[in-house]
């Protein structure tokens, strides 16, 4: 069994990004990320601070806007509109979840596609589906980066994705389909889940259910990617029963330290990509 260490792979990618950012800055472009946090959800605050810290380490421009839980939908949309027009901002991220009185859909659609570095806007989702991606959601992009880093053969392989969210499940399936994998989707209503997962050469668990994938559900030598982040008895664990599944897997991601670090790194990657596009437009003027 080989451990797919997200910290190691992320570290390598960040070195490459640092060099790209330095080149952009030498040409008068500093990649900029604006993050909006509404309310004081502890996990959200932790994620936001981690993103801010990474921006600083890479030499990027970052802006953090913290708004109270009572912020109205109109006020939040106005903030997004201002960042849409700000030439120093290449990417806009509104940390989810949002308070219940604010429409997540309206917020996602308010960010212009050119600055939607999360890849959630319907236009970017559609481009991914049609094979012409502009921005790809960060966790799926991080998964693909990990597989390529480890030279995992994707072409023609059987991929099973457990989960169908718009953030991970659906887009990661589309990404791997574009790499010529044969992709199947499973979910909470799938009958006899193990019959599907046992056939996977690459198994991606993104259902949000602690230790859902057990040893008997995994093919010998399979690559197992665990996207889950669950708390059980105060401890963090994934959707895969790691301690037992590692005995049959060929490669496996740990939780924490697997997919998580890649998600933030690919957010930075998307922001740099947006800045490079800004540079191209600026150079053409």
Please enumerate, by residue number, every residue annotated as part of a binding site for NADP(+).
Answer: 163-165
**Dist. CA 6–CA 1, nearest whole Å:** 15
Per annotation, catalytic residue among 13, 90, 95, 246: 95
| 150 in catalytic set | no
Burial of 218 (0-12, 13-18, 19+ CB in 10 A): buried
What whole-number distance in Å separates Cα of residue 234 and Cα of residue 229?
12
From the candidates 118, 201, 226, 241, give the one annotated as an active-site residue: 118
Annotated binding site: 163-165
220 is catalytic: no
Count of Cβ atoms closer than 10 Å to residue 75 Cβ: 13
Compute the distance between CA of residue 55 and CA of residue 174 in angstroms, rounded to an integer: 28
Which residues, in sequence order, are CB contacts of 224 under 8 Å at separation 6+?
Answer: 203, 205, 213, 218, 240, 245, 249, 251, 252, 253
Q: Write b or e for each residue in 116-149: b if 16 or more Cβ atoms lie within 10 A of its Cβ, otherwise e.
A: bbbbbbeebbebbeeeebbbbbbbbbbbbbbbee
Q: Mind telling me the catalytic residues?
A: 51, 95, 118
């Amino acid at each position: 069994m080989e451990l797919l260490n997200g910290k190691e792979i992320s570290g390598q990618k960040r070195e490459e990004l640092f060099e790209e950012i330095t080149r952009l800055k030498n040409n008068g472009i500093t990649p900029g990320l604006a993050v909006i946090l509404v309310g004081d959800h502890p996990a959200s605050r932790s994620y936001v601070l981690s993103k801010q810290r990474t921006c600083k380490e890479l030499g990027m421009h970052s802006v953090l806007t913290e708004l109270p839980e009572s912020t109205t939908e109109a006020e939040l949309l106005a903030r997004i509109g201002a960042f849409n027009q700000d030439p120093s901002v290449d990417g806009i991220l509104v940390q989810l979840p949002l308070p219940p009185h604010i429409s997540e859909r309206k917020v996602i659609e308010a960010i212009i596609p050119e600055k939607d570095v999360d890849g959630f806007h319907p236009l970017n989702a559609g481009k991914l589906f049609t094979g012409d991606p502009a921005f790809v959601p960060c966790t799926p992009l991080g998964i693909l980066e990990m597989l390529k880093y480890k030279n995992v053969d994707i072409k023609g392989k059987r991929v099973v994705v457990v989960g169908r969210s718009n953030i991970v499940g659906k887009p990661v399936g589309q990404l791997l389909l574009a790499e010529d994998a044969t992709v199947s989707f499973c979910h909470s209503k799938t009958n006899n889940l193990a019959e599907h997962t046992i056939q996977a050469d690459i198994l991606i668990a993104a259902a949000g259910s602690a230790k859902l994938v057990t040893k008997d559900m995994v093919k010998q030598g399979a690559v197992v990617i665990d996207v889950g982040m669950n708390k059980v008895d105060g401890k963090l664990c994934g959707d895969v029963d790691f301690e037992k599944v590692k005995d049959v897997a060929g490669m496996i991601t740990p939780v924490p330290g697997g997919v998580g670090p890649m998600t933030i790194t690919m957010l930075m990657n998307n922001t740099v990509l947006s800045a490079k596009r800004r540079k191209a437009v600026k150079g053409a003027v």
